Chains A and B, each alone.
Chain A
Amino acid sequence: MEQPVQTETWKARSLEELIRILHQIFAEDKVSVDEVQALMESYESNPEEWLQYAKFDQYRYTRNLVDNGNGKFNLMILCWGEGHGSSIHDHTDSHCFMKILQGNLKETLFEWPEKKGNGEMTKKSERVLRENQCAYINDSIGLHRVENISHTEPAVSLHLYSPPFNTCNTFDQRTGHKHKVTMTFYSQFGERTVC
């Protein structure tokens, strides 16, 4: 993605409209990160529009595919039960946008571990993202861990990844050692994916 000369200011009035505009934006050769982030943030979360994709699992967070962007991006909804969190991970050279649809998520940023990787990983910063906020990350910014730190409220987030990817590396916070993992979808287009 590179910065084009002009960026539009979009307002997505529904999830359907958000997807439509995303298709429009990604049809171009050049896409602006700021534009996509502002568009995602402009959508005011309306549970009625996304409840069909929000399938929770008792044991861990779930990834539910909403749209596959004609191969240009993956749009998915992640459902986080109380206390659910991800490992520290990278984004396989892709862009990652994360918008909160319900509840709150804590994002902790980490530096990439040294090549030798034998010490505790360095925390860069942390923040709690509120409803409708949209965060952005890519590998040049760093690595992150995302978690629902609430013990009483589930959380739901909308993620856009471009280009789409299904493998990434997870990192052990204590040692910096990495481990490649394949990600799967708990559901696709509202239908539970049978393993």
Chain B
Amino acid sequence: MQAKKRYLISLLTGASLVLLLYFGGVPGPAPATSRHERARGGGGGGRRSGQPWPHASEPFQPFSPGDETDTEEYNAHVSPRQKREVHASVYRGKRCRMDSCFDFSLCRRNGFKVYVYPQQKGEKISESYQSILAAIEGSRFYTSDPSQACLFVLSLDTLDRDQLSPHYVHNLKSKVQSLPLWNDGRNHLVFNLYSGTWPDYTEDLGFDIGQAMLAKASVSTENFRPGFDVSIPLFPKEHPRSGGERGHLRANSIPPFRKYMLVFKGKRYLTGIGSDTRNALYHVHNAEDVVLLTTCKHGKDWQKHKDARCDKDNAEYDKYDYREMLHNSTFCLVPRGRRLGSFRFLEALQAACVPVMLSNGWELPFSEVIDWNTGAVIGDERLLLQIPSTVRSIHQDKILALRQQTQFLWEAYFSSVEKIVLTTLEIIQDRVLQHTARSSLMWNSHPGGLFTLPQYSSYLGDFPFYYAGLGIKPYPKFTAVIHAVTPLVSQSQPILKLLVAVAKSQYCAQIIVLWNCDKPLPAKHRWPATSVPVIVIEGENKVMSSRFQPYESIITDAVLSLDEDTVLSTTEVDFAFTVWQSFPERIVGYPARSHFWDSNKERWGYTSKWTNDYSMVLTGAAIYHRYYHYLYTHFLPSSLKNMVDQLANCEDILMNFLVSAVTKLPPIKVTQKKQYKETMMGQSSRASRWADPDHFAQRQTCMNKFASWFGGMPLVHSQMRLDPVLFKDQVSILRKKYREIERL
């Protein structure tokens, strides 16, 4: 008690003191002293050349911000409609903006659809451009009907516009002009990686792009049309088409410093554009923790141009291994080459080596949406000599954050051609969506813009990813969605027991029965009376995927997905829901399954055996965020959903793939009553499905098909199960809150 009193009093006095300081201190002494100091400084002279800014006391005229009069006058002779038309005719070419060079009406009709011109015979298309086109064609934006399209992509390879390159496509100008849908490039998107050539490397593409948007690598801020063009990263031709490697960071080491502080290894151009910075690197190189190596050995006649330092530099260069440096350095220097961008940028990003940009005027990749200050250090070529002290001044916590962000950005937007292309398309779509576009938070935090579809909701709190960042919690109730496939004939059917058990849960807000049975809906009175509303919905086409439809009647953040023959007690449901509240971005379920790599058959295997780990939980009884319904329906391609519908199988595997691809984490298995041997599924229709030998083979096939679409295996294993705190402990059962779970 004494302590409390003391705290209270000292708190109060402290507060008064703060008040005093604020009241007396802020407006009074601080500026006053500084003013005096300045006055004194003036008396002493010498320190400054001009007079200080005076604090004037007399009243001034306001600057009169009301532009009403101006506006009235203006309105009298300008019509907004005319003004818009004028803009559209004036701001063309280099001054293109979405407002002036893009026809939004094309997107309004059918949504954001992308058309790819059919490939013409005899046209050579580079591997990289093939990948780009394949990524678009495989995406949910693709349409083969130009009349449906909002955006057009050429099948002519525009990636390499370096005249000296073997991939250079000749006569592009006439080829483009002859396209019937070209329309001066309106609503066209042109991809480009290289433009210009030695010696000046201009950013000219060698043909008139008209009003087309450019998705271009190494683009400079001067030529970049903000809000219209998209800056993309330079990627090598071996860049994987989809999926892609994960980042190299396996663990957050503490302290976060690596063997080297800052490294670079690359060519040095002795003369010409972009040579200055690399020529000066040796000033900063210290051969210890700052290792910046250049070589003059490139091109046929390098010896002709070589300078005094070349031999020494070349020797030093050969002493170090690029890969070794990349993986053992805290920072990686990314100086401009002939062009502004370089492969090194993506390499550093993947290697969790924080890029230190030295490429003045480079519009960084996807700069419209990515906040690069959180994933890179933006240096200034003019301040090269300061770079070592700058990177040394960066606090450890900041390094830790930068490094993790490189990994997030790499995996979210850069690890495959598909991701680069989809990011480009999503950025353009965001412009079309306007007010419903993604916020900066969605783009710059896990899981990133490609997995957060803004059409679902413009409210961040409706997604499972931002609760902590917003300081809020998910809605503390769930909606049960029961998938019914058999007609209601008897009152002892499992679905009715399930309904009653689930309805009794204190966290249950409502129950939706999804009627996917060929028989007509049973009469209302056939359903048991429950304390929560029961809504019966007839499934769309009665297909499997309809169970993951984002029904508008789902009003809670959490969905409890159930098969009709699932056997669950109220306690089990209650416990699982409390667990889900701690892990709202994951699937929390009961029966679990696992995947493994079958090295004999060189493919993924599926097992339902009892194992020491698992990577999936069945969605016949699982809780997850309702956003995953939306993602399942709108993110996944119809090829996968159709497969699920045709087989009437694998929907749970697909959902697990999806959620793990988003979270990069395993699902969570919670404990369940143990009286059921294989699964908790009963003996009805569903059981026969499980007993079918084809069923198992199908699931195996599904897994491999899904893995190939995702470009890798997103599933992650877990070795633990979550049980109630006192589960099976040697303590009176009366003490246990979830005692039903351990009762047989």
Report if A and B associate in a common complex. no
User: Which B residues are closer than 8 A to A by beta carbons?
Assistant: none
